[in-house]
Chain A
Amino acid sequence: MTASKKVANRAITPRLEVKKTYKLFINGAFPRSESGRVYEVSNSRGGFIANPSLASRKDLRDAVVAARAVQSGWAKATAYNRGQILYRIAEMLEGRADQFASEISLASGVTLKKAQDEVHTAIDRWVWYAGWSDKLSAAFGATNPVAGPYYNFTIPEPQGVIAVAPAESFLAVIDAIAPAIVSGNTVIALVPGSAAIAAMTFAEVLATSDLPAGVINILTGSHDELAPWAASHMDIDGFDISGIDKKKRTDLKVAGAENLKRILHFDGAISPTRIYAFMEAKTVWHPIGV
């Protein structure tokens, strides 16, 4: 090849990117789906973006085992410690804000500016939730003036393992996960469709944020396939189905009745009741007497 042709070729060929392989996030690690399946995510023009893992019911089963194993430890951490970890996650999110914005823009087709706004809202929302960890008792606890010589107090406590099925957006994923874990629950998030792209970057943030393995687990894939398995799983305590098609919610609630699972959906208003929704209240009596 002549020298001039070599130069010309070098000018046209760009540097090839090392593309990310998308896997699941279970127990702090990144395994592929045990089913070996993937699904395709394309951009708004139909161009290929990635093949996220298509999670199976067995992946869900494994995620529940992981989430259950660490839940009591996460609940026993001080509220201050949980708040610190959640704030650290926000710091890591902020550091990657540009990456999130470009991924959201690419996968969902919105403009980069809209994507950036969504990311900033998501980060600020996460920080808002982080600040609740040591204030839940002030909001939802009480000492109760019972008519007798008893000290009576109510403490709000986390329920346990919560599944969430958010709608297909990064902000919805954040809005579903944060309120569940800030009080000491652990979470399995069923992330649908193109939201998998930003959700797996979020998983990388979680893996680098001092969050104990298993507190948040992320399964990318199909709500239609996984939601019924989550709804009927006897070792899941609560299920946030805000992202499930309204027509499909009834069947899930029927299935969840088997262990009286708390199956709830939220209309988007931001309030601490979304945190309290996955908590219990324990009331204690103790006599007062010399």
Chain B
Amino acid sequence: MSFYGIVDGSESSLKHFLAQLPGVDQVGAESRAAMLATRSIKTTSKRWAIDTAISMVDLTTLEGADTAGKVRALCSKAVRPDPTDATVPSVGAICVYNDMVAIARTHLDSIGGKHVPVAAVSTAFPSGRASMEVKIQDTQDAIDAGAAEIDMVIDRGAFLSGQYGLVFDEIVKIREVCGERAHLKVIFETGELVTYDNVRKASYLAMLAGADFIKTSTGKVAPAATPPVVLVMLEAVRDFYQMTQRRIGVKPAGGIRNTKDAIKQLVLVNETAGPEWLTPEFFRIGASALLNDLLMQRMKLDDGYYASPNYVTID
């Protein structure tokens, strides 16, 4: 097989390609991200950023204690985040475990949420420690239940021990299972990869293997979607587009708790990959608590005074 004509899928071809990528200077990357965090986004641009961020949220519940009731409440919130304000956009997607997908899809369809896709985490999320057969079944179940997006995890153990071919092959196989029915996000768990060089390598590995989106974290490990990590991933998708004319999406997940954090992410996108990525088609934010803070900030811009949590709904 030929992957964009860049690698042939063999371990040696991958190792060779990854080894010639330029290194990432930690201090330089962190200071670039820190400078972009000083951008001051006000008034009209803040309003635009808030609405855009809302439309990019993958509203998530991934708890052992999830029930049908919880998932339905989340879905209602996803379609209509503010029951008192119809101008608030729906979120980008719902993200749940595969055994909740059918419940989510059915409920969304019944409340006018056909336009909200269901994403399922897969491949023995969050640890990724299971056989390939189990991971494939995990994915297949989710798609059969109605998931239009699959968020898989890479095998970090294999990555950290240099078995890039193994990591690559798993992504290729899951991409095959997704076929035309679902888009594939590949989660790196950047907190476990630790170095920015590893994040860059993982980005290319995933994109070459067929990812539609690259995603920072499971949200179960800290640190998660820090600005410099997202910066490195945005550089990767930018450069990949130059190489292949294929636009890959980026999804930070975990640690983005408030509007300020979300806007910093949008600034990173804007000044790194570019405005073409500023749409839910190419940028998503994995979050749960963030949505209410976005709503409160939106209220403050509209009303002119600070909001209270009493005026936004819990899901």
A and B touching (Cβ–Cβ under 8 A): no
